[in-house]
Amino acid sequence: MLGKLLKHEFRQSARSVSLVYVSAAAVIAFVFIGMLTKITWIGILGSVVLYVAALAALLMTLVSVIKNFYETLYSNQGYLSFTLPVNCASLLGSKVIAAVVWVILSFVLAALCFLVIGMNAKATAEGSMAGIWDILEMSGLKEMLPSGATLVKLAVLAVAAVLLTVLSFVSFVFFAVTLANTRVLQKHPKLFGFLIFFLTYGATNAIATKLTYSLPLSLEISTQDVKLAFVAMDQSSSIFAYGLGGILFSALVAVGLLLLTGWIMEHKVNIK
């Protein structure tokens, strides 16, 4: 049943975000035309529009995810959704998976847009990147760049961090919207939803930041390797270290909020 719910979720949410993706693809094609024809004004105009398109894709995807969650569960469609022959865990799970996938895709699209902007800037600069590389070699900074194996590890960690960040954000949003639609708070769900989100998200980030520096668990990154160390971030002897305490705490809070959201959906939500 989860598969059918996911199919429905992706089909429904695609209607609101597909226009942004198609528009970004059209602008990317426009920028490449400018690069191939070497018409400067086309490249410059395309880069500006592409920058706006990247930000718009992120913003509209987030708005679409929140709007879809609210309208299909706590608005006019809510009664129909909760009368489906599935449990609340499946309903919530399908929406979380769809939301995470769409937000990740919007990040990928934004990264692609910025990559094309960079390629266009490089083509316009005609060799300035080579000059920057020469400066790195002359100053000795090139030797400080990570090795290929280290870059692969960093890329994997970066992907995991983005995935966790998106999942954490979605869990806070869904929890806030759900709690704001209980009987006590339902008179002003949007107001209470905003307040709950900012209070819980802000408090969690404050604690996570403190744990990032103080908990004796961190990643030590050098040019040759990335390794786990049982020392606090501010006590590490490595050139660069990143504390894992905040990430672990955020992950636990995200899981806890999703479980709590499912319980509230099952027992406390007041369907309109």
Tens of pLDDT, residues 19-76? 777 877 787 787 777 777 777 777 677 778 778 878 888 888 888 888 888 888 888 7
Which residues make Cβ contacts (< 8 Å) with residue 250, sequence separation at least 6?
Answer: 164, 168, 204, 205, 208
Query: Which tokens hold the place of 127?
Result: 């060799």
How far is the C-alpha of 197 from the C-alpha of 181, rounded, in Å? 13
- The enclosing H or E element of 228 equals strand 226-229
Q: Give the full edge-to-edge strand order of the sheet including 240-243.
A: 226-229, 218-221, 240-243
How far is the C-alpha of 156 from the C-alpha of 115, rounded, in Å? 19
pTM: 0.80
The CA dihedral of 201, 202, 207, 212, to the nearest 10 degrees, is 80
Query: Which tokens hold the place of 58?
Result: 């992120």
pLDDT at 73 (0 to 100): 84
Tens of pLDDT, residues 149-197? 777 777 788 888 888 888 999 999 999 999 998 888 878 888 999 999 9
* Amino acid identity for residue 62 in this structure: L
